[in-house]
Amino acid sequence: MDTFLDPGKKNCSGDEYVGPGTKDTQVQLVISLALGVSAFLAFCTLRPRWKTLYAARKRYLNPAVGLPALPDSFFGWIPALYRVTEQQVLASAGLDAFVFLTFFRMSIKLFAFIFFFAVAVLEPINRHFIPVATPNNTDSSPESLLYNRLRVSGYSAPHRNAGHAFLPLNGSDPDDGPDNSFDYNMGYLWSYLVFTYLFTALTLYFMDTETFKVIRVRQDYLGTQSTITDRTFRLSGIPKNLRNEHKIKHLVERLEIGKVDNVTLCRHWKELDDLIDERQAILRKLEETWSVYLGQKPLRPAEGRPDGAGNGNAEGANGPSDVADEEAGETGRLLRGESSNHFVERERPQARFWYGFFRLQSRKTDAIDYYSEKLRRLDEKIHAARKKTYEPADLAFVTMDSIAACQMAIQALIDPHPGQLLTKPAPSPSDIVWRNTYAGRLSRRIRSWVVTIFVSILSIVWLIPVAFLASVLSICTIETVFPSLADSLKRNEITKALVQTGLPTAIVSLLNVAVPYLYEYLSYNQGMLSQGDIALSVISKNFFFTFFNIFLIFTVFGAVTSIFDVLRNSLRDTTYLAYSLARKIEDLSVFYTNFIMLQGLGLFPFRLLEFGSVALYPIYRMGAKTPRDYAEIVQPPIFSYGFYLPTALLIFILCLVYSTLPGGWLVVFLGLIYFVLGYFTYKYQLLYAMDQPQHATGGAWRLICHRIILGLVVFQLTMSGYLALRSALTVALLVVPLLIGTVWYSFAFKRQFEPLTRFIALRSIKRDEDEGGNAILDEDFGGTGEQQRELLRRSSTIDEDKEKGLRFVNPSLVIP
């Protein structure tokens, strides 16, 4: 920040990399609207034409679900989508989609209230007490504007020996004694304290209200369905003397909690799983080889057709056989030709295989015969491998005769020895990562810790490219390397705004899109037992990246070189972190405004358009050779909550942090637009376009709530530092009780609410004698409560449909 107050000093600090400019917001608005409107119009045009992509999930969904079809008109789908109720979302997309959309609905309601107070009360106060800065010279650079804005706000140049960058003009340091809390001219700062309390209370109120609703719906939803997953629990830490199905069954039944229907003891099936994987690879190669062979042009006409014009049929070109061929299509002609022995001669594809010492020799052979023989030998090995007895692992899936018995086993301590016979809810059979079931607990724990440490180190490593890219796009850096280019940029406000904040915002957004793919790969290799656990882990990792690298680094630390200075000063002065946070938040308001604007107005329509799928489809289409390839490219894309939820949580935190600050109404307004557009975008994708195979039974809600509480803590720290920097020490200290109360609430939430997001309460379980136990109260979905009960769904849930006929058995043992 020294450079801002000393223009002659060429020291490009991290703050200048994303420093505010006069045209930045206008330029970013034009760019975002241009991107968003063009993508939205393209989606409205292509949606009725490409139903295999934009209605992929609806095409595969069971018609009994009752999800309404959207009209094909240009904008007609919007009101129809709006009218889809929460009951229909729950019945057609499940708990995870319901919880995800609940977060967006809650955010819309919360920030609508906050926006009203920010505009109607706070903004008039700020306009009256904080005049707009007017620079004394014609320099409109960010440095001069920030310098004048700070002077108007009551700050002078920094004291070189102080721990704080800016000092009030009427006092040397906030810690030196003067307290402006009771100064009449600074009385407006008390309004910031009042609204800090009010906005915190509103956030906790809405979060509590939605939490009660999510818990009620989750308990009733899971309590009214009956799947094999609901009756099964996971038993880990099984001692070696109990690693037998009959012994485990006898042990559980001796607990007198219910009868055991089935026990699946996991074993070391690595040999069998490897054979199945190898078979899949060979099968794909054989399919591809056959497709290439059949797709070639014949070298000679078919037998019995010497003239190449027919098969001796006197009907001619327009005869009944040709008509039948046309109606039957390519598949019918192919089958009929084979049955009539009208084979054609084609060039047989060749495959090269290596053999001998160190596989240094090779030769070519007929590819179809080669892969067919390999497949036959693999089938023989698999049949033999399935008859083997494998060493048992320390994990088993125990299916009880009732949901209540399963829940009692899950919520109880079975064994007095630490780490033995631990019970947890079982994932769905289709959700299990079977290779991790026979990995030892120590192995899984080591892998988990290695990945966690690697992610932590990686978060530090990300600082280097982020700071490098930001510094390369800094006017200060460009002026050092290319002075003439910097001078031309300074003469044009628009190009300067693009370079100074537009491009860093775009780079951060692109990084925010690319990094989750890496974290998803790491989560899959962390040793977790289910796809649902992996999905929740991806959410946690990606949020850590967005919060640490995009928020903390750009605010508290500013640049890589400042990290150790901030940490060192924080250890000497516990208030330094709050001062740093408050000081930098104001400086980066334009950057975060542009970031939210680009994410909401610019990128949401592209997500609706599924630009990645559209761009990659021609590539996949050209590379598709087999029927399996063609079937895969028309499958619904996968919706990953870990890719989208962390960014939404970061924007939620940013809206909270800026809600009370001068000019924060604009951030809140853009955040409100972001959540409105996000709600409609994700509602469409979750219901109609994309599939969500992972099933975490709404477990993302507890992650959402803990991140909201973290945002409240950051918000309160920022406001305390902001008030302290203005020497309103009494007002700043009055934020501390609110901070303590929020931390206490986080522990209370974990103790009281979190168990109900993991387990099913025994009273929620529907029994045969319960009347009306298969419905959820109407008031849970905002009804009037006049009706006794409203039927939630049809006779079965979407989870029951998915699990029909499933068993807890390794697919490698039973697949054809």
Cα gap 450→251, rounded to integer Å? 35
> Which candidate, 691, 811, 802, 766, places its Cα nearest to that of 227?
802
Q: What single letter denotes the amino acid at residue 330?
A: E
pTM for this predicted structure: 0.82
Q: What angle do CA 16, 20, 21 make, to 5 degrees?
A: 115
Could you tell me where the DSSP H helices lie in 475-559?
A: 475-481, 483-491, 493-497, 503-524, 531-545
Q: How far from 160 is each of 6, 170, 443, 565, 613, CA to CA, in Å? A: 13, 17, 53, 14, 54
Cα gap 684→712, rounded to integer Å? 30
Q: Are 596 and 654 in contact (CB under 8 A)?
A: yes
| Residues in CB range of 426: below 8 A, 6 or more apart | 229, 232, 233, 234, 397, 808
The one-character DSSP state at 391 is P
Quickly state the pLDDT bin for 581 (edges 50, 70, 90).
confident
Averaged pLDDT for residues 423-427: 92
Exposure of 785 by Cβ count < 10 A (0-12 exposed, 13-18 middle, 19+ buried)? exposed
Mean pLDDT rounded to a whole number for the chain = 79
Q: Are 37 and 605 in contact (CB under 8 A)?
A: yes
Q: Are 646 and 100 in contact (CB under 8 A)?
A: no
Cα gap 677→134, rounded to integer Å? 37
The one-character DSSP state at 589 is H
Predicted local distance difference test score (pLDDT) of residue 782: 54
Cα gap 214→114, rounded to integer Å? 23
Length of the chain: 816
Predicted local distance difference test score (pLDDT) of residue 185: 81
> Which candidate, 567, 705, 672, 586, places its Cα nearest to that of 214?
705
Cα gap 535→645, rounded to integer Å? 11
| Residues in CB range of 816: below 8 A, 6 or more apart | none
Predicted local distance difference test score (pLDDT) of residue 789: 38
Highest average pLDDT, of 134-138, 262-266, 441-445, 569-573, comes from: 262-266
Quickly state the pLDDT bin for 165 (edges 50, 70, 90).
very low
Cα gap 668→654, rounded to integer Å? 8
At the top level of CATH, the class of 230-269+390-426 is: alpha beta
Residue keyed to tokens 């860093």: 504
Can you read off the two tokens belonging to residue 246?
Answer: 């009959």
Provide the b/e sequence for 601-623 (b: ≥16 CB within 10 Å): bbbbbbbbbbeebbeebeeeeee
CATH 3.30.70.330 segments of the chain: 230-269+390-426
Q: Are 102 and 213 in contact (CB under 8 A)?
A: yes
pLDDT for 539-559, tens place per residue?
A: 998 898 888 777 776 666 554
The one-character DSSP state at 351 is E
pLDDT higher than 60, residue 560 = no
| Residues in CB range of 512: below 8 A, 6 or more apart | 546, 550, 647
- Describe the crossing of helices 95-117 and 664-684 by its angle, rounded to 10 degrees: 160
pLDDT for 272-300, tens place per residue?
A: 999 999 999 999 999 999 988 888 776 65
Q: What angle do CA 144, 146, 152 make, to 5 degrees?
A: 105
Q: Which long-range contacts (CB under 8 A, 24 or more apart) does 786-793 make?
A: 790/87, 792/87, 792/90, 792/91, 792/220, 792/221, 792/224, 793/87, 793/90, 793/91
Q: How many CB atoms lie within 10 A of CB 412?
A: 10
Q: How many CA atoms lie within 13 A of 556 on its CB side?
A: 25
Q: What 3-state class would DSSP assign to 535?
A: helix
H-run or E-run covering 325: helix 320-339
Q: What single letter denotes the amino acid at residue 416?
A: P
Predicted local distance difference test score (pLDDT) of residue 532: 87
Highest average pLDDT, of 303-307, 390-394, 615-619, 724-728, comes from: 390-394
Cα gap 220→405, rounded to integer Å? 17
Predicted local distance difference test score (pLDDT) of residue 670: 95
pLDDT higher than 70, residue 369 = yes
Q: Where in 646-740 does DSSP place strands (E)?
A: none
H-run or E-run covering 424: strand 422-425
pLDDT higher than 70, residue 171 = no
Quickly state the pLDDT bin for 477 (edges 50, 70, 90).
low
pLDDT higher than 90, residue 742 = yes
Can you read off the two tokens belonging to residue 492?
Answer: 């044009």
CA torsion sign, 781 to 783 to 788 to 793? negative
CA–centroid distance for 161 within its chain? 44
pLDDT for 60-111, tens place per residue?
A: 777 777 788 899 899 999 999 999 999 889 888 889 999 999 999 999 999 9
pLDDT top residue among 352 and 573: 352
High-pLDDT (> 90) share of the chain, %: 37
Can you read off the two tokens belonging to residue 440?
Answer: 């030892």
Strands 361-366 and 392-400: unpaired
Averaged pLDDT for residues 338-364: 73
Q: What single letter denotes the amino acid at residue 778?
A: D
Predicted local distance difference test score (pLDDT) of residue 327: 37
pLDDT top residue among 563 and 67: 67
Residue keyed to tokens 């387990």: 759
pLDDT higher than 80, residue 472 = no
Lowest mean pLDDT among 183-187, 408-412, 662-666: 183-187
pLDDT for 217-261, tens place per residue?
A: 999 988 888 889 999 999 999 999 999 999 999 999 999 999 999
pLDDT higher than 60, residue 783 = no
Highest average pLDDT, of 245-249, 563-567, 629-633, comes from: 245-249
Can you read off the two tokens belonging to residue 605?
Answer: 């329509």
| Residues in CB range of 237: below 8 A, 6 or more apart | 394, 415, 419, 420, 421, 422, 441
Q: What 3-state class would DSSP assign to 447?
A: helix
Averaged pLDDT for residues 704-720: 93
Predicted local distance difference test score (pLDDT) of residue 12: 54
Cα gap 248→250, rounded to integer Å? 5
The one-character DSSP state at 420 is S
Residue keyed to tokens 């109360």: 741
| Residues in CB range of 446: below 8 A, 6 or more apart | none
pLDDT higher than 80, residue 792 = no
CA–centroid distance for 642 within its chain? 2
pLDDT higher than 80, residue 632 = yes
Quickly state the pLDDT bin for 781 (edges 50, 70, 90).
low
The one-character DSSP state at 559 is S
Phi/psi-derived region of residue 729, left when phi > 0, alpha when psi is between -120 and 50, beta in every other case: alpha
Exposure of 515 by Cβ count < 10 A (0-12 exposed, 13-18 middle, 19+ buried)? buried
Q: Are 689 and 53 in contact (CB under 8 A)?
A: yes
Predicted local distance difference test score (pLDDT) of residue 2: 40
The one-character DSSP state at 640 is -
pLDDT for 8-49, tens place per residue?
A: 444 554 444 444 454 677 888 888 899 999 999 999 999 999
Can you read off the two tokens belonging to residue 120?
Answer: 């109607």
> Which candidate, 509, 514, 550, places its Cα nearest to that of 654?
550
Cα gap 492→287, rounded to integer Å? 60
Phi/psi-derived region of residue 77, left when phi > 0, alpha when psi is between -120 and 50, beta in every other case: alpha
